[in-house]
Amino acid sequence: MDDRNGWDQDTTRSTGTTHSPPQSFVEQANVSDPGIYEAFEENRPACWERAADLLSWDDEYETVLEDEDPPFYRWFPDGRLNAAYNCLDRHLEAGRKNHAAIRWEGKQGERRTYTYRDLYVEVNEFAAALRELGVEEDDVVTVYLPMIPELPIAMLACARIGAPHSVVFAGLSADALATRMEAADSEYLVTCDGYYRRGDAFNQKSKADNARIGLEQNVQTVVVDRLGDDLPHVLGEDEWDYHELRDEFASETVEPVSREAEDMLFLMYTSGTTGEPKGVVHATGGYLAHVAWTSHAVLDVKPADTYWCAADIGWITGHSYIVYGPLTLGTTTVMYEGTPDYPDRDRLWEIVDRNAVDIFYTAPTAIRAFMKWGSEYPDQHDLSSLRLLGTVGEPISPRPWNWYRDTVGGGDCPVVDTWWQTETGAVAISTLPGIDDMKPGSAGPALPGIDVQIVDQAGDEVAPGEAGYLTITRPWPGMARTLYDTDEQFVAEYWRRFSDPDTGEWRYFSGDTARIDEDGYITVLGRVDDVITVSGHRLGTMEIESAIADVDGIAEAAVVGRSNETGDTEVYAYVSTERNRDANAAVRRAIFENIESAIGSIARPEAVVFTPELPKTRSGKIMRRLLEDVANGEELGDTSALRNPEIVGEIQAEIEADGGGRRS
């Protein structure tokens, strides 16, 4: 294709064989009428009432969408509700108090089950405790906890009293915590003494203490004792023990605060283009309606299910699809504190087997790791309870998609490949599993009620098969309302590029590149800034990585740019093979051939470096910045966020031993 859109690559590569959902799944699916797409299109914005109807409202809304001040859209603005009531109280009132709400699996093999009654009691007690500490409506409470039950309890306690929560991923540093608390002007912190990392006690409170030192505001801190005698700790001034504080309010109940639908439910910080984290604001009514609807329609969640989203609540996926979506629908949601390979590589499948999990939702990064480890691990367990599989977090190429469906799903489990972002709040692109065919490698069409267009630099729609910018042309309920304390940046970063305020045309710019086929199925190619410019040609790293991953025996790959002696940029590929597959010259040649066939010779890597694994953060993301430093022989940046920092040295040694993996 030509480069008028900023790409120079063949984007017509097939996404793989099309699969239809089995009739047995269609017959039981929550949504199975193909007419839903037309119904949403012909009746917008009132079509979103079916999402709002999944909630209980204190005051019913009269207006679905208020759009007089775009892009600051307001959903169900005259309605009132409480998120904690929707996740807890109404299920008790419906006679389901003894139904399991959360099944928690600890890193050391601990297990806890919370019924909806148990969760209701503990949330109320902690809500009362927070009020005693001085938390009032609209105060931002920062939560800095690992994957332990006290994390969703704290979130729901905040929601109950009308205090927005700001969850900070437990693996982030003290500086990152301080930056987020300062930006939110948060004076309340819920943290813990520590947590286990591969069996070792890790001190979380020391990071929280260091963060507090750098803050101007006085901070009231609640500390959960997670480790007991394994990591003794001392409470200082303005610090309280979580369990002792809760015990003071044993059996107390707190009336849920009725919130306007547009009141902030939570604040979530995500990476920003300026280097400073952005505080994404999500409102109560629209967000809750959207996550409930997509949990119901895309993930096919039913109250009787045991559902497991294997993400971390510290990120938006955990907010939407571990806590608010499933609990709003009254299902059983599984929480797991550990990693997929500890104490052994069958840990996840053992949990699926023992809990008879119906729906499993995880990231392509994890799936590629499962492939690499081998099918013998899932084969050790009975996974026949699984009814639906899902992927989230990044695009998934056909090979791992098919492995996931065949090995984990038994060959006939529908797979929903979902695209969405922190800013969209909930799934925006995916197949509806009870209606749509699946195309491995393609996320699917935009969901009913969401209008996605792939456009060129001028904002004009591109032809099918061409790459372009992924935009959303009309508002949707789960959308971010603004960035905390910076409406101007919100407009500039997400809306200004492809909008024309003079004509009233407002278009959300996702920052992702994608292509769309003749059937309206969208394949996401990666971030706009995930490109390498080689001899003036802009190459998408995701496209190259997908071509490498499609080679038989490859588990995963990461591609970066390397500056050579003349100052030009070369493609540098780091590749991890599947278990029991040798990394040799034949595999390297196959990689080169597949890239040339799928994209073109311009994308052929200057080097392919084989490595046992790729450097990843504790949330499972590949740290490409470090790989770029290694490729360019530069001083390494901060490695504290890595869960496997030792691999960087191994990669450097491999490059030296292999002559840099240069082209043959």
What's the CATH superfamily of 23-455? ANL, N-terminal domain (3.40.50.12780)
Q: What is the mean pLDDT of the chain?
A: 90
| Residue 631, φ and ψ in degrees, nearest 5 | -60, -35
Rounded to an integer, what distance in angstroms lies between the CA atom of residue 598 and that of residue 603? Answer: 9
25 or 343, which is more confident?
A: 25
Query: How far is the CA of 141 from the CAs of 68, 306, 521, in angstroms?
Result: 31, 30, 40
For 400-428, give one letter per residue: b (16+ CB within 10 A) or e: bbbbbbebbbeeebbbbbbbbbbbbbbbb
**Model confidence band, residue 535 (pLDDT cutoffs 50, 70, 90):** low
Mean pLDDT across 636-657: 78
Residues 6+ apart with CB under 8 A from 425: 282, 286, 287, 290, 291, 316, 320, 477, 478, 479, 480
Residues 6+ apart with CB under 8 A from 42: none
Question: Looking at residue 566, what is its pLDDT?
Answer: 61
Name the H helices within 113-149.
Answer: 116-133
Q: What is the dihedral of CA 361, 364, 370, 372, to 10 degrees?
A: 170
Residues 6+ apart with CB under 8 A from 498: 455, 459, 469, 471, 507, 509
In the chain, % of residues over pLDDT 90: 71
Q: Give me the long-range contacts of 314-319 (CB less than 8 A, separation at least 24).
A: 314/167, 314/168, 314/169, 314/170, 314/171, 314/172, 314/619, 315/169, 315/422, 315/619, 316/268, 316/270, 316/421, 316/422, 316/425, 317/392, 317/393, 319/155, 319/167, 319/266, 319/268
Q: Residue 636 pLDDT more than 80? A: no
Which of 597, 587, 584 lies closest to 544 in space, CA to CA?
597
Question: Looking at residue 661, what is its pLDDT?
Answer: 55
65: which strand partners? Answer: 75
Which of 570, 600, 564, 443 lies closest to 3 in space, CA to CA?
600
**Model confidence band, residue 619 (pLDDT cutoffs 50, 70, 90):** low
The CA-based angle 163-165-170, given to 5 degrees, is 155
363 or 533, which is more confident?
A: 363
pLDDT digits (tens, 9 = 90+) for 569-597: 889 999 998 887 888 888 999 999 988 87
Rounded to an integer, what distance in angstroms lies between the CA atom of residue 478 and that of residue 289? Answer: 7
**Model confidence band, residue 638 (pLDDT cutoffs 50, 70, 90):** low
Q: Residue 658 pLDDT more than 70? A: no
Mean pLDDT across 116-137: 98
| Residue 275, φ and ψ in degrees, nearest 5 | 95, -20
Region of 176 (left: φ > 0; alpha: ψ -120 to 50; beta: rest) is alpha
| Residue 103, φ and ψ in degrees, nearest 5 | -110, 115
Q: Residue 6 pLDDT more than 60? A: no
**Model confidence band, residue 382 (pLDDT cutoffs 50, 70, 90):** very high
Q: Residue 626 pLDDT more than 90? A: no
443, 244 contact by CB (below 8 A): no
Check if 23-455 and 531-661 are the same fold.
Answer: no
Rounded to an integer, what distance in angstroms lies between the CA atom of residue 18 and that of residue 34? Answer: 18
Name the H helices within 423-540.
Answer: 487-494
Q: Residue 11 pLDDT more than 50? A: no
**Model confidence band, residue 184 (pLDDT cutoffs 50, 70, 90):** very high
From the CB of residue 478, how many other CB atoms can be counted at a distance below 10 Å?
26
Helix H or strand E encompassing 452: strand 452-455
Question: Looking at residue 257, what is its pLDDT?
Answer: 98
For residue 181, how many C-alpha atoms fall within 13 Å in the half-sphere facing its CB? 32
Among 155-169, 262-276, 403-417, 434-448, the least confident range? 262-276
Region of 403 (left: φ > 0; alpha: ψ -120 to 50; beta: rest) is alpha
Residues 6+ apart with CB under 8 A from 454: 461, 462, 466, 467, 468, 469, 470, 471, 514, 515, 516, 522
Mean pLDDT across 548-557: 89
222, 133 contact by CB (below 8 A): yes
Determine the CATH number of domain 531-661: 3.30.300.30
Instruction: Kindly report the three-state secondary structure assignment for every residue of 263-331.
Output: CEEEEEEECCCCCCCEEEEEEHHHHHHHHHHHHHHCCCCCCCCEEEECCCCCCHHHHHHHHHHHHHHCC
Say whether 445 sits in a helix, a strand or coil. Answer: coil
197: which strand partners? Answer: 200
What is the pairing mode between strands 239-241 and 220-224? parallel
Among 176-185, 480-489, 607-616, 646-655, the least confident range? 646-655
In the chain, % of residues over pLDDT 70: 93
pLDDT digits (tens, 9 = 90+) for 38-91: 999 999 999 999 999 999 999 999 999 999 999 999 999 999 999 999 999 999
| Residue 208, φ and ψ in degrees, nearest 5 | -65, -40
Q: Residue 13 pLDDT more than 50? A: no
Task: State whether the Cα torsion 132-137-142-146 is positive or negative.
Answer: positive
Rounded to an integer, what distance in angstroms lies between the CA atom of residue 207 and that of residue 228? Answer: 18
Which of 461, 402, 391, 450 lies closest to 425 in space, CA to CA?
450
| Ranges of each domain in the chain | 23-455, 531-661
Mean pLDDT across 209-220: 94
Mean pLDDT across 649-663: 72
The CA-based angle 190-196-202, given to 5 degrees, is 70
DSSP one-letter code for 26: H
388: which strand partners? Answer: 359
